[in-house]
């Protein structure tokens, strides 16, 4: 069976931070969007602009996957006279068509858009019972000086001149339909950072560690397994990794139906919220493979609530500390709660991938050469080595990371130097630490041989099988 992960966005914190000019949080917001769901089929959004400008542009202007078109223009209905919704270059904008200033208040009506966008959050994730999870940040806007300035703009909206007001504010207001956020029903939700807000009669489950909101249409076996295991994973993380920063996390799982020919498990993460959209007729009967994918995705992203959110990594070339850490932790937690889970194939694949992907230079400069894949693979292998060191003195991977978290909680960053220092302090052999440091700083001409040596130094033996693939012995 083919399990396709259609969307795995873990957007870097920088990409979702407030734009330049919004530094003073005490300033009145430069704009406010009031989102009032009228029914499951209609949203009324009132934009209030507190700075004079001929146009405001949306902070996110992703396009529809497949067509490359705006999902707003042509679909949203602007009710306020003298205002038009337009695509200008790479950006959607509300533009004054009379005079040189947008009216202070602009009303827009829209049908919830549930399609997928390219490398951008799904605007509305809809459950089979009509419940909607609405992404707040698609309503956040900022002023622009002229249409020409926007047309000349690349994807980075921070290239526009600063504005005076504070962060854009998005307010959800309950109507006949109740609002839910982080496991509680609310009259209104006020957001300065991106989040999904639920609209509808939601039955939130979960635990003190995580709120879970699951589509009633999701196949029962899958809903049951997620409901049982996700709170267990979170409790285990809390016990073993300590306090985390941030609000109570939320898991939202939607069932997108049962097409015969495909199975898809799509996931995205925004702040402390994990959203999954799942579909496929084959999932109507239990599939351990599909469940394994869903659990690995959730366990990896939930590990980032500690490794990633509570402490971050340093510069982009050091992302393997938290990516590899989250990947191996997700495997270990799966073993702890599911005796049937076997991490070995995933780990062997990581060794292969690291050997292949790191052959072209230092990890430090990998982001300039290619994507993040090398960090998952090499990070998992290095983490495996640190875990082996820790095990020799009675600990495990969680011991290693809980110490890193404790020691770096205050400055908020676990750099590669911090990570290597922790491995050394735990009794890691000098040769092993040096192999990792060299792959980080200068790279290796034969990473395959280096990885075999690295693991041998910590007592893990790897051999090539008949096809030349590396196997843990
Ligand atoms: Zn990750």
| CA–CA distance, 463 with 53 (Å, rounded to integer) | 66
CB 333 within 8 A of CB 341: no
Span from the CA of 381 to the centroid of ligand 1 (angstroms)? 15
- Do 212 and 157 lie in a common domain? no
- Do 226 and 346 lie in a common domain? no
Structural domain containing residue 164: 13-199
Span from the CA of 131 to the centroid of ligand 1 (angstroms)? 28
Span from the CA of 415 to the centroid of ligand 1 (angstroms)? 16
Model confidence band, residue 16 (pLDDT cutoffs 50, 70, 90): very low
Domain tally for the chain? Answer: 3
Q: What is the pLDDT of residues 87-141, one digit of tens each?
A: 999 999 999 999 999 999 999 999 999 999 998 999 999 999 999 999 999 999 9
The average pLDDT across 314-321 equals: 93
- Do 124 and 44 lie in a common domain? yes
Q: What is the pLDDT of residues 402-423, one digit of tens each?
A: 999 999 999 999 999 999 999 9
Q: What is the pLDDT of residues 337-366, one digit of tens each?
A: 999 999 999 999 999 999 999 999 999 999
Span from the CA of 41 to the centroid of ligand 1 (angstroms)? 34
**Residue 66 included in any domain:** yes
- Do 172 and 264 lie in a common domain? no
- Do 381 and 454 lie in a common domain? yes
| CA–CA distance, 368 with 232 (Å, rounded to integer) | 38
Span from the CA of 10 to the centroid of ligand 1 (angstroms)? 7
Question: In a 3-state reduction of DSSP, which class is residue 91?
Answer: strand
- Do 327 and 457 lie in a common domain? yes
- Do 224 and 287 lie in a common domain? yes
Span from the CA of 64 to the centroid of ligand 1 (angstroms)? 25
| CA–CA distance, 190 with 123 (Å, rounded to integer) | 18
This complex has an ipTM of: 0.99
Span from the CA of 166 to the centroid of ligand 1 (angstroms)? 30
Span from the CA of 48 to the centroid of ligand 1 (angstroms)? 36
**Residue 101 included in any domain:** yes
Span from the CA of 78 to the centroid of ligand 1 (angstroms)? 39
Percent of the chain residues topping a pLDDT of 90: 81
CB 172 within 8 A of CB 200: no
**Residue 234 included in any domain:** yes
- Do 339 and 380 lie in a common domain? yes
Looking at residue 175, its pLDDT comes to 84
Of 302, 337, 371, the residue that ends a domain is 302
The average pLDDT across 135-155 equals: 96
- Do 96 and 221 lie in a common domain? no
∠162-165-169 over CA atoms, to 5°? 115
Span from the CA of 266 to the centroid of ligand 1 (angstroms)? 15
- Do 195 and 285 lie in a common domain? no
Span from the CA of 400 to the centroid of ligand 1 (angstroms)? 18
Span from the CA of 387 to the centroid of ligand 1 (angstroms)? 19
**Residue 4 included in any domain:** no
- Do 324 and 266 lie in a common domain? no
Q: What is the pLDDT of residues 263-290, one digit of tens each?
A: 889 899 998 999 999 999 999 999 998 9
- Do 274 and 357 lie in a common domain? no
């Amino acid at each position: 069976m083919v399990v396709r992960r259609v969307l795995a966005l873990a957007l870097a914190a920088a990409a979702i931070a407030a734009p330049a000019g919004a530094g003073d949080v005490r300033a009145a917001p430069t704009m406010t969007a009031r989102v009032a769901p009228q029914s499951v089929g209609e949203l009324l959004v009132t934009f209030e602009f507190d700075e004079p400008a001929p146009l405001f542009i949306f902070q996110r202007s992703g396009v529809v996957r497949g067509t490359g078109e705006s999902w707003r223009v042509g679909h949203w209905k602007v009710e306020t006279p003298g205002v038009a919704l337009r695509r200008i270059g790479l950006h959607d904008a509300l533009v004054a068509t009379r005079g040189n200033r947008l009216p202070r208040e602009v009303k827009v009506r829209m049908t919830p858009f549930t399609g997928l966008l390219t490398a951008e959050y799904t605007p509305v994730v809809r459950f089979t019972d009509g419940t909607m999870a609405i992404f707040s940040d698609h309503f956040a806007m900022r002023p622009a000086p002229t249409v020409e300035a926007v047309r000349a703009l690349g994807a980075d909206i921070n290239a526009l001149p600063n504005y005076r007001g504070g962060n854009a504010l998005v307010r959800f207001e309950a109507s006949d339909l109740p609002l839910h956020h982080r496991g509680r029903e609310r009259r209104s939700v006020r957001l300065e950072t991106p989040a999904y807000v639920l609209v509808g009669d939601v039955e939130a489950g979960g635990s003190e560690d995580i709120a879970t909101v699951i589509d009633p249409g999701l196949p029962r076996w899958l809903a049951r397994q997620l409901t049982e295991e996700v709170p267990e994973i979170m409790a285990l993380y809390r016990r073993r990794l300590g306090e985390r920063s941030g609000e109570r996390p939320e898991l939202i799982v939607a069932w997108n139906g049962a097409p015969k020919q495909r199975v898809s498990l799509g996931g995205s993460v925004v702040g402390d919220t994990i959203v999954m959209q799942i579909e496929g007729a084959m999932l109507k009967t239990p599939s351990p493979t599909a469940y394994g994918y869903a659990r690995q995705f959730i366990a990896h992203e939930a590990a980032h609530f500690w490794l990633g959110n509570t402490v971050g990594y340093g510069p982009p070339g050091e992302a393997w500390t938290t990516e590899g850490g989250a990947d191996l932790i997700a495997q270990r937690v799966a073993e702890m709660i599911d005796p049937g889970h076997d991490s070995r194939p995933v780990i062997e694949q990581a060794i292969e991938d690291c050997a292949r992907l790191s052959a072209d230079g230092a990890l430090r400069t990998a982001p300039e050469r290619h994507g993040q894949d090398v960090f998952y693979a090499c990070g998992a292998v290095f983490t495996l080595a640190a875990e082996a060191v820790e095990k020799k003195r009675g600990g495990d991977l969680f011991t290693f990371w809980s110490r890193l978290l404790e020691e770096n909680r205050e400055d908020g960053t676990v750099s590669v130097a911090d990570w290597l220092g922790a491995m050394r302090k735990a009794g890691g052999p000098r040769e092993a630490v040096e192999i990792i440091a060299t792959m980080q700083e200068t790279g290796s001409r034969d990473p395959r041989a280096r990885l075999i040596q690295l693991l041998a130094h910590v007592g893990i033996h790897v051999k090539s099988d008949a096809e030349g693939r590396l196997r843990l012995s």
